[in-house]
A and B are shown apart, each in its own frame.
Chain A
Amino acid sequence: MKKDINKLYSHLLSDKFFAWKISKNFSNKYLHYLLEKFLEIFPQYPIDNISTITKNLQEKKDDSGIKSLEEKLNGNKSIIYKVYSSNSMPQKIINQILNMYNFSSVKHYIMPLCLLKNAIFIDVLPNTNFNISINDIKKILNDNSVVSDYIHIHVGKNSIGKIENTYNQSHLLINSSIFDIILEENSYLSFTNLQNDSSKTHSFFSIIANQKRKSTFLLNNIFLNSYITLNYININQPEVNCKSFIKWLLIGSKHQHTFDTIKINHNNDNGLSLEDFKSIYYDNSCRHLDNLVLIRKNIQNIRSHQLSKNLVLSPNVYIKIKPSMKINSGNIRCTHGVVIDKLDKNIIFYMCSRGLNMKVAEDIVLISFVKNLLDSIDHSVFQKTTWFYLKYRLWILK
């Protein structure tokens, strides 16, 4: 294993990647240590595979498109964009990115951090209604094989809006986004993320969200295809009256490996967190879900509910789910539930007996399984695309 880390490490340390900047700001030893910790959490991570990818990546892109991109984006006075590509990232910005990290959690997203290329800063001014899509920005900043961005989103007081991250290319080798989200007082953000890459893609998705009082955060995640997906979600509620809602759909197929780590920290009164996971597994897919709700001492009136429903459609599927609750206060009400099930043959038989073809019957069951979840995602354009992808996915997976 040590040989592999060294190989990976040497490929990451070229100035193609952010890893070089990390090792300069901290030290080579520290970076090495973090990569080791990373592999302790994900021992199955295919280092060889990513070493090959990183070794063969193209050199840096030129920055010509960036200035005009920024100008175009900043047409709307109430949302300020700043965009930096790996070539032209000032030290101040590098420091800002490195400062976001929290020693105890960085090992979960050290890989995407090392592979970072671009930084995008979106500042939504107070009292603004917004509807942002990050797709175009990503397209311009990245090349055809690697998408790797750090996106900082600051939603000002009383602002309400949506952000969409649905950039997918079927030939991407690495698709990585690290989001650093700050929600100011009384703001509302509905964040929708769709990942639908190829069965060769390494996908990384991290969100670290800090909510100020009375803010609401809706996170809608749909994962349809990749080779290996590492997701890290950390939602902090350090102030009162915060609400978080997570909706998550996963369809695992072929040799897809998904590792999801979710941490919700309730650090102040009157918090609410609701999590709804629905997954369908085919072929040899495998999934690790580690979902922790943490409630500090002396906190009043917290409600937290997690539910994970899993439908297994192949005998070679491996699932490991760890819904945990660490609760240190009394005035709370928390629940969690996990259901692992197979297709109900009785329902299929009933539909067949009413004249439906077995495949159609199965289709109906699968779609109804995910329908509620999808319909509740308040993003109409997204919904249409998702339905299309979903049906296509379910069709070709049969």
Chain B
Amino acid sequence: MISNNKKILKKINNDIEYKYGFVSKIKEDSFPFGLNNDVIRNISLKKNEPEWLLNFRLKAFKYFEKLTKLNKTPLWPELTLPTINFDNICYFSKPQSVPKNIEDVDPELIETYKKLGIPIDEQKRISGVAVDAIFDSVSIATTFQKELEAFGIIFSSFSEAIANHPELVKKYLGRVVPYTDNFYSALNSSVFSDGSFCFIPANTKCPLELSTYFRINAANTGQFERTLIVAEENSTVSYLEGCTAPIRNNNQLHAAIVEIIALENACVKYSTVQNWYPGNKNGVGGILNYVTKRGICIGDFSKISWIQVEVGSAITWKYPSVILKGKNTTGEFFSIAMTNNYQQADTGTKMIHLGEGSSSSIISKGISSGFSKNSYRGMVKVLKNAKNAKNYSQCDSLILGDMCGGHTFPVIVSYNDSTQIEHEASTSKLSEDRIFYCQQRGLSKEDAVHLIIHGFCKSVLNNLPMEFAVETRKLLFLTLDDIVF
């Protein structure tokens, strides 16, 4: 048994073939490095933003400066955080030509997205999926916008939304994740560049999958996207976020915010397939993925589901959460986090039960190998007035090898007597006996491992939108093959 583990470990020394590691030759407009009030004013100016938004940014920056002075880098996560020199980052970079029509988009950009498997030119659009392509913090193309407008659905880049629907953005921006929430939310609220805005009017079921593909290209820039999704009464939407970045020798910071608001009886599903560059086999480089994602189920009977498959980035630090304010609301969190080499992941969720009859489900699967650290950190909090609240959590970890860590830190808090909470977690290794059983039935070792891990992750994968399930499974197995073989 031990000798087999050693064999597996030897094979881990092969570098991951990160096939998205190419750099596109695009001319960029970039600000000089560093962060101060002037940089913020310039960002706002460049984007033609209204006064209220500039003030929002400045307030957030003031708070960020206050936090920096207090040296508030948190010590509680199970992560070794690299020091970030905030003055050594460029906070705004955009491709020089950002045209209004997709026909005028720089062909190099179209080629980039094609290589990523996301065609954005008119002829080759994936039917059934509307795409907002974000290249280095700027939205360069949004498909199917007109078709969606016919339904009253607004799906556009954040900048466009500020220009065309300022009252909507103003109403909801910062309501779920205020800039005072944490260090990186303050930073993001000051310098956010672009992102997606999505508004589903009442009684509308969005006919297409909405998705955003984030692509980081420029070096030494930080990426600060902001996504806002508002689902009015009785509406439904399913949203997918995909991300990749080039291979570089230093860490790049990605501090995004995603806010979701669900009104009465609305249903929002937000899926993420994260494949940021994870750093090389010695842990050099890689994206620092510090993201604040939160949804609030304001209206009764509303539902927000977070589904994430995290296989990349040097450090993943995110807790997609749901605040269950309304009555009989539902929050769901499904996650697969895979770490290898020197990657670190401290991820999980917070389900805050405020409304009566609220319920939440958490299914988290972690797979760690190499020298990586993979932690689940979750909180289920049932407050006093959340009568008859229910929660079911299941967190499973697979540890491949003897040098990696698989940790679980759940916190369960209950303030009343009608709560029903069930939490179970298990950590184990990949059973050699199970692999042998499958092999004896004629399956090769690769196929046996795929089968078992697929079974392990099935309850999460089954919740991904169908359009992306196949690609995600492929990505999962590709990453897995690098780990096990």
**Direct chain A–B contact by Cβ atoms under 8 Å:** yes
Residues of A within 8 A of B (CB): 297-298, 300, 312-315, 317-342
Q: With A327-B399, A327-B405 given, is the CB distance from A337 to B427 under 8 Å?
A: no
What 4 pairs across the A-B complex have the smallest Cβ distances? A340-B421, A335-B426, A338-B423, A337-B424
Tell me whether A339 and B421 are in contact in the complex, defined as CB-CB below 8 angstroms, given that A315-B416, A327-B427, A330-B5 are known contacts: yes
What residue in chain A is nearest B384 (Cβ atoms)? A315
A330→B407 contact, CB < 8 A: no
Cβ of B2 within 8 Å of any chain A Cβ, yes or no, is: yes
Mostly, the B contact residues are: strand
Judge whether A315 and B428 touch: CB under 8 Å. no
Known: A330-B400, A332-B399, A342-B419. 9 other contacts (CB 8 A): A312-B419, A315-B418, A320-B412, A322-B410, A323-B423, A333-B427, A335-B425, A337-B425, A338-B410
Cβ-defined contact, B424 with A300, below 8 A: no
Interface of chain B residues 240 through 273 with chain A (CB within 8 A): none
The one of A317, A331, A340 that contacts B412, using a Cβ cutoff of 8 Å: A340
Q: Do residues B425 and A326 form an inter-chain contact, with CB atoms below 8 A?
A: no
* B98 on the A face (CB < 8 A): no
**Dominant secondary structure at the A interface:** strand
A-side contacts of B400, CB under 8 Å:
330
Known: A317-B417, A334-B428. A329 touches B399 (CB 8 A): yes
A-B contact count (CB 8 A): 122
Closest CB in chain A relative to B11 CB, distance in Å: 15
| Complex contact A330–B401 (CB within 8 A) | yes
B468 within 8 A of A: no
| Complex CA distance for A340 and B397, rounded to whole angstroms | 23
Q: How far is the CA of A314 from the CA of B416 in the complex (A)?
A: 7
Q: Is the beta-carbon distance between B404 and A319 smaller than 8 angstroms?
A: no
Contact of A332 among B404, B409, B417, B429 (CB under 8 A): B429
CA distance A333 to B397 in the complex (A): 10
Smallest CB separation, A311 vs chain B (Å): 9
Q: A residues within 8 A CB of B13? A: none
Tell me if B404 and A328 are in contact (CB < 8 A): yes
Which residue of chain A lies nearest to B398 when distances are taken between CB atoms in the complex? A330
A residues in contact with B424, CB < 8 Å: 335-338
Are B416 and A340 within 8 A (Cβ)? Answer: no
State how many angstroms separate the Cβ of A360 from the closest Cβ of chain B. Answer: 21
**In this complex, what residue of B is CB-closest to A281?**
B417
Q: List residues of chain B with CB within 8 A of the CB of A315.
A: 384, 416-418
B402–A324 CB distance below 8 A:
no
Nearest CB in chain A to that of B432: its residue = A331
- Within 8 Å of chain A (Cβ to Cβ): is B414? yes
| CB of B457, distance to nearest CB on chain A (Å) | 18
0/1 string, B223-250, CB within 8 A of A gives 1: 0000000000000000000000000000
Q: Mark B265-297, 1 if CB is under 8 A from A, else 0.
A: 000000000000000000000000000000000
Is the Cβ of A331 less than 8 Å from the Cβ of B423?
Answer: no
Residues of A within 8 A of B417 (CB): 312-315, 317, 342
Q: How distant is B217 from chain A, measured CB to nearest CB, in Å?
A: 37
Which A residues touch B419, using CB under 8 A? 312, 340-342
Q: Which of B1, B78, B384, B422 contacts A339 (CB 8 A)?
A: B422
Whether A325 lies near B1 (C-beta < 8 A) is no
Q: Please, which residues of chain B bring their CB within 8 A of the CB of A326? A: 78, 405, 407
